[in-house]
Structure 1
């Protein structure tokens, strides 16, 4: 299906990029992404993916908006306090881009619900805040052979990576962190603090990697974790190899 005149105008700066062009923009319009978490990472990722013209966004979050969220969760304001994050984020998407369908899911992903909540998407973007959820999401991504963009944040540091653990030569997220963190034992923003702008950087980068995975521009980033430290600042990239004993992608 051809882009409408309004879409050609809206996405003109994408279309003139030879790495994206009209064909790439059509791929974005046809794509569906599940975004796990509408928090510090999810908020900027949702904004940029909606602006990029992703056809469908499934927004999965069981939390409600608290005043302490507003320092970094930039989709929300005072009028949204107490509202489910997924629903408020979906309303924000509708304001940002009428060409994008946002499906709010006020639910928590568990081992029992992951298959249903993550089904029928072209890519999963995980911005959740605990290892238990991240590992559940990773394992499901491998089972359904869906690319996973994973982003994490703490204090001044962020991590962004693309995983395709369903491929024989590619690691999954569990290859990266192992099985040691199955419990919900992550340090929290409430305990450790987090720089709001660092959340913006991590979320925007995750959105960029999602667009890259869908369109296919530049070198393949799969299996590499990009780590930035906003305190220094410094950026480094870590190569992850497939763990032959990984129960998530080699069993």
Structure 2
């Protein structure tokens, strides 16, 4: 069950019990699991095609605190895949609109917003009270930076990406000394220009991967760790998944 040390006197109030009743009824969650979700803090970095669906499902699921980080504004070309935004939002900060929409979706939780580049904040300090980080960014340099910071602070990381008709997902728990890291699997930040903007993407693939990120984050909050260190690849045209276990690279300069 969840790693959180819950107060034995904690319980869902009537409004929460009604709202999350389908979770409470679900094997593997129950009221104890929902309380763990309520007590958790998830950091979502990037509010593009991955961050939009991931944030919506985590909000609806009752994650107690969600912090959003993105420095971009909404553009017309975003609307093909970034499902939190509308035509009327063009020119607005992504974080501001997302924070407003998510808070309206679930007023029982707290949604924080940071409209800065991840490279221009003290990420280590922010991670002090974060349970899981979702890397929803779209370039390799940023992914490597987030990975290294999570390794340093021993925080769980769920990373995903998508391009063309394919996507990938992997998660790590850096509290484990045997955990590999993102750099073990992808040692180079080369090809950082390969992203949705430069290569295109089939929009529902981002919905699939973003939803899987939310699923994996909730699973980790609930203490379900059997998918750690597993690279999952999704191919939309073949409608197929492939999964590969990964191990720590003894030569990795990031996690050794």
Regarding TM over 0.5, the answer is yes
**1:1-251 to 2 correspondence within 5 Å?**
1-110=10-119, 113-178=122-187, 180-181=188-189, 185-217=192-224, 220-250=226-256
CA distance in 1, matches of 2:141, 2:163: 16
CA distance in 2, matches of 1:49, 1:59: 12
The SS at the match of 2:129 is: coil
CA distance in 2, matches of 1:184, 1:121: 30
Runs (4+) of structure 1 exceeding 4 A deviation are none
**Bigger shift: residues 109-118 or 165-174:** 109-118
Structure 2 CA distance for partners of 1:31 and 1:101, relative to 1, 3 Å = same
Structure 1 alignment gaps of length 5 or more:
none
Structure 2 alignment gaps of length 5 or more:
1-9
CA drift at 1:169: 1.8
CA distance in 2, matches of 1:165, 1:108: 23
CA distance in 1, matches of 2:186, 2:120: 18
CA distance in 1, matches of 2:100, 2:141: 28
CA drift at 1:166: 4.1
CA distance in 1, matches of 2:120, 2:249: 22
The SS at the match of 1:246 is: coil
CA distance in 2, matches of 1:29, 1:209: 16
TM-score by length of 2: 0.93
TM-score by length of 1: 0.94
